[in-house]
Amino acid sequence: MRKHGSIWLIMVGIAVLVLAACAPKPAPTPAPTPAPATPAPTPVSAAPTAAPTVAPATPAPRPATPTAAPATPAPAPAVKLPPTLSFATAGVGTTSYIVASAFNEVMTKYTGTKLTVEPSGATARWVPLMKTKDIDFAVGCGASDVKDAYYGVNYWTDKGGPQPVLNAAIGHVSPYGFNVTDPNIKSVADLKGKKIYGNMVGMRVVKGAVDILLREAGLKPGDVEILTFSDVNEATKGIQEGKAVGLWYIPTVLPIVELDRAKPMYGIPVSKAMADKVREEFPELGFYTWKKGSGIGKADITYMNQPCSMHVRADLDPNIVYTVLSTIYAHYDDYKDKHAILKEWTPEQGPTVIFSPFHPGAIKYFKEKGVWKDAEEQMHQKLLAKPKGQ
């Protein structure tokens, strides 16, 4: 029995072995099979070539982003304006005072920022206040004096040298010359033996033009007594009191128009030859026909004129300057009919006379409007290159 059992066990063992031998060999999971995949080492040297090439190409988007960002500044980031900006002008009732007051209305209405109008008088009074940051903007009719202040020459040589004042825009053009109460004075030569207000503190252009015109009329120093005045109100008061027969100033300003009602005033014509002599020294001044009915004008006469312009503190944020100009000009219809001179305050007029450098914020605005072109840029660069103190 034990023998049969052993035989049985042996037969079962053999059967198992036979079955195992006949079973299909499972594709030996031989780990070695993947080995052929490794032979791809041949391509490995080629692969790196392709892979790295793509990698450097992908970074391109990174430079692209920064490049695009600077291009967007066109819309200019919104700037938070201060609640007030100080705005210097000549005396109350002058054309510059009228302009600043109209602009204040626009700025207050559309931005909430108030332009505090400060009738400071001549250039010499408000320019130093830009250095102390007490004045931000100014409107005046003293282009030559602003130029002197920027370069630190003439009056400014011993008054602190170059000043931080730049141009923002040219506005209206005003008649500029001798205005007298005596109807018998019909020429500059007729001023002989008279007293006239012809030396305004801090405005070289007034005394300078007066001296040249008197000389060209054949008058000698001392033939006309030149009185000094600090602002137009002082001069008109003196004329009313009989201290002088007239003054050299803009004949369309309110103090002179009011004086004309009490004592009729008359402009004295000048010839082009005389005006040209003045313009050799003060090229910012012009020559034209002053029309009857403008200010105290009682007839059309040949006269000198001067551009009246807006100026700005040199270190004022360009975005503020840009925003002020764009706000004002965008609402031209709000102010153009408030006074005849305000019609002339347009973007097109803005860069028409370039006598000293413009503020970057103003340039940005005029470029955007398409009125700052190659000629303006060339003149601006020429003025920037001119050494100060000369």
Rounded average pLDDT over 293-300: 93
0.75 cut: is pTM over it?
Answer: no
Q: What average pLDDT does the structure give for the chain? A: 83
In this predicted structure, the answer to whether residue 90 has a pLDDT above a threshold of 60 is: yes
CATH number, domain containing residue 166: 3.40.190.10
- Residues 4-58 have pLDDT tens digits of 444 333 344 434 333 343 344 444 444 443 434 433 333 333 333 333 333 333 3
Domain presence at residue 63: no
Confidence of residue 78 (pLDDT cuts 50, 70, 90): low
Residues in the chain: 390
Domain assignment of residue 172, given as a range = 84-385
If one counts the domains in the chain, the total is 1
Domain-embedded: residue 125:
yes
Q: Report yes or no on 42 lying in a domain.
A: no
Over residues 184-228, the pLDDT tens digits come to: 999 999 999 999 999 998 788 999 999 999 999 999 999 999 999
Q: Which residues contact 56 (CB under 8 A, 6 or more apart)?
A: none
Percent of the chain with pLDDT strictly greater than 70: 80
54 within a domain of the structure (yes/no)? no
pLDDT digits (tens, 9 = 90+) for 138-163: 999 888 899 999 999 998 999 999 99
Q: Give the Cα separation of 370 and 352 in Å (integer).
A: 13
pLDDT digits (tens, 9 = 90+) for 306-338: 999 999 999 999 999 999 999 999 999 999 999
Q: How confident is the model at residue 127 (pLDDT cuts 50, 70, 90)?
A: very high
Span 357-380, pLDDT tens digits = 999 999 999 999 999 999 999 999
pLDDT over 90 percentage in the chain: 71
Query: 36 versus 84: which is more confidently predicted?
Result: 84
Residue 38 lies in a domain: no
CA–CA gap between residue 304 and residue 16 (Å, rounded)? 129
Assigned domain for 224 exists: yes
Residue 121 — very low, low, confident or very high, per pLDDT cuts 50/70/90? confident
Q: Which residue has the higher pLDDT, 60 or 256?
A: 256
